[in-house]
Amino acid sequence: MLTGEENTVRTKLPTLNLAASSRGGRPLICGHRGARIHAPENTLAGFELAAQMGADLIELDVRLTRDGVLAVIHDATVDRTTNGTGRVSELSWDELQALDAGIRFGEAFAGQRIPSLPEVLDWAHGVVYLAVEIKEPAPLQPGVAERIAAAIRDAGMADQVTMHHIQQPDITVVRQVDSNIHVLCDWAAYLSDPRETIQRSLAIGASGVIWDWRYSTAELIAEAHAAGLAVYAADCPPTAEGVREARLRGVDILEADDVKAMAEAISASAS
């Protein structure tokens, strides 16, 4: 990972390659909301720590404030992660910035703020890849997916970012903004047949599928790979045994709440 000083010269990371096969079977680590076991989720402190611990990608969540700012926060309300209350959609950006997004995690993180998507994109440039998840309820308001995709494009990170959980009516607008942005879909959240998730993902030009680790069998992953799709797996145990099994199955990306443990497990799995 690059240092903050190096990042100031706008070093660009190579184009994001999702295929584990090109890395000798090593899956990428995606830090779920940063390093949320060790630092407050969806904060710059958490993202920085995740990068230091070995995350290849950092997953984050985007919601709109009352005045239309792209805020990085998971929940529909600020109650769980800040010292405030209220729905994100009913608060202005200035009201969100007045909240402390670190104090509930611990005194050491007091003063952390809810970042905006452009702020995180600016920080991540040359440091780490990002996985941007749209948390707005479906169907999305007109223009939301385009605005997020445009922010990614304008930051010079179109080929270094995935967008997650975009439903079918919204996918074409993302690709119209910039076809280099990878899209990974979680059809499995509401489809009983994993093979249907492959077909639907192909139909909308997605780069991969998001599956629960427990259902990501070697057979299904082989079918996804044959279709040209990467497999992003959630809930894999961050142990050497779990990662060895993931590598045998062919998983391309492993989501991790505990980035440190997953990075250690990937190192151990190679021995």
Active site residues: 32, 74
Amino acid letter for position 53: M
Inter-residue contact 73 to 91 (CB < 8 Å): no
Amino acid letter for position 263: A
Q: How far apart are CA 159 and CA 196, in angstroms?
A: 27
- Output the DSSP codes for 32-58: ETTTTTTS-TTSHHHHHHHHHHT-SEE
Q: How far apart are CA 83 and CA 233, in angstroms?
A: 32
Nearest Cα residue to 261 out of 19, 7, 24, 32: 32
Name the token pair of 12.
């660009």
Inter-residue contact 106 to 41 (CB < 8 Å): no
Q: How far apart are CA 28 and CA 251, in angstroms?
A: 9
Q: How far apart are CA 252 and CA 239, in angstroms?
A: 16
Backbone torsions φ then ψ of 110, nearest 5 degrees: -60, 140
DSSP code at position 77: B
| Maximum Cα interatomic distance, the chain, rounded to a whole number of Å | 52
Amino acid letter for position 256: A
Contacts of residue 249, defined as CB under 8 A and 6 or more positions apart, other chains included, come to 216, 217, 218, 221
